């Protein structure tokens, strides 16, 4: 049991760290999902003598079903807790949420936009159909190509840490006017964590 709660505690602490980047957080979730599944599939090592019988009483003693303490502990406690942990991870980090987070990480300006991936950013823009029409997506594709070349060669953008700093620097250098669709896109992604957190709280 301590392994289950230990994994859950470690994952919770790792995800909540302020210096944790999105790609590492997504990878950690996948690793912990795998660890929980592995624990469920083959992690049962009985440390106690639980072969004593446990009676589940019904109406009459003659119809009482006998099960061992080992079975009761394994099925009703161990597997039940593992299933709950796995289900929580799958609910909050499903494929679409994971894809969204991976795409979002491509905006990170750290290390001269090392995580930049235009294809993933365009995929992320598709999550905002009310904000980006088909024509806007074509224009965004072209703007992103010029934008990344420009910003990687600009000294003002060389040591940025985080999307918030990126937005402030774009406004300061008037790049928000040069690349309006990129700026709109980046500012939309700033509210995504808030919207996701609100959705998480509701669920």
For the chain, where are the E strands, in sequence order?
Answer: 53-56, 65-68
Sign of CA dihedral 122, 142, 189, 133: negative
Instruction: Flag whether the pTM goes above 0.85.
Output: no
- Residue 66 has what pLDDT? 61
Percent of the chain at pLDDT above 90? 21
Q: Kindly list the distances between the CA atom of residue 138 and the CA atoms of 70, 84, 141, in Å, as whole numbers in the listed order.
A: 61, 43, 5
Range from 33-47, 93-107, 108-122 carrying the lowest mean pLDDT: 33-47
Task: Please state, rounded to an integer, the average pLDDT across all residues of the chain.
Answer: 75
pLDDT at 74 over 60: yes
pLDDT at 160 over 70: yes
């Amino acid at each position: 049991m301590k392994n289950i709660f230990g994994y859950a505690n470690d994952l919770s602490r790792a995800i909540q760290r302020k210096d944790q980047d999105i790609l590492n957080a997504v990878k950690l979730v996948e690793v912990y999902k795998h660890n929980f599944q592995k624990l469920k599939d083959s992690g049962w090592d009985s440390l106690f003598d639980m072969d004593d019988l446990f009676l589940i009483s019904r109406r009459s003693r003659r119809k009482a079903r006998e099960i061992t303490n080992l079975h009761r502990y394994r099925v009703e406690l161990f597997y039940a807790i593992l299933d709950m942990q796995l289900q929580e991870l799958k609910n909050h980090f499903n494929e679409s949420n994971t894809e969204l987070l991976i795409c979002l990480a491509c905006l990170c300006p750290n290390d001269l936009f090392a995580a930049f991936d235009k294809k993933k950013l365009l995929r992320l823009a598709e999550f905002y159909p009310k904000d980006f029409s088909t024509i806007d997506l074509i224009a965004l594709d072209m703007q992103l190509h010029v934008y990344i070349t420009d910003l990687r060669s600009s000294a003002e953008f060389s040591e940025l840490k985080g999307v918030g700093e990126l937005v402030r620097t774009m406004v300061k250098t008037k790049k928000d006017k040069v690349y309006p669709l990129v700026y709109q896109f980046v500012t939309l992604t700033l509210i995504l964590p808030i919207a996701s957190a609100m959705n998480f709280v509701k669920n």
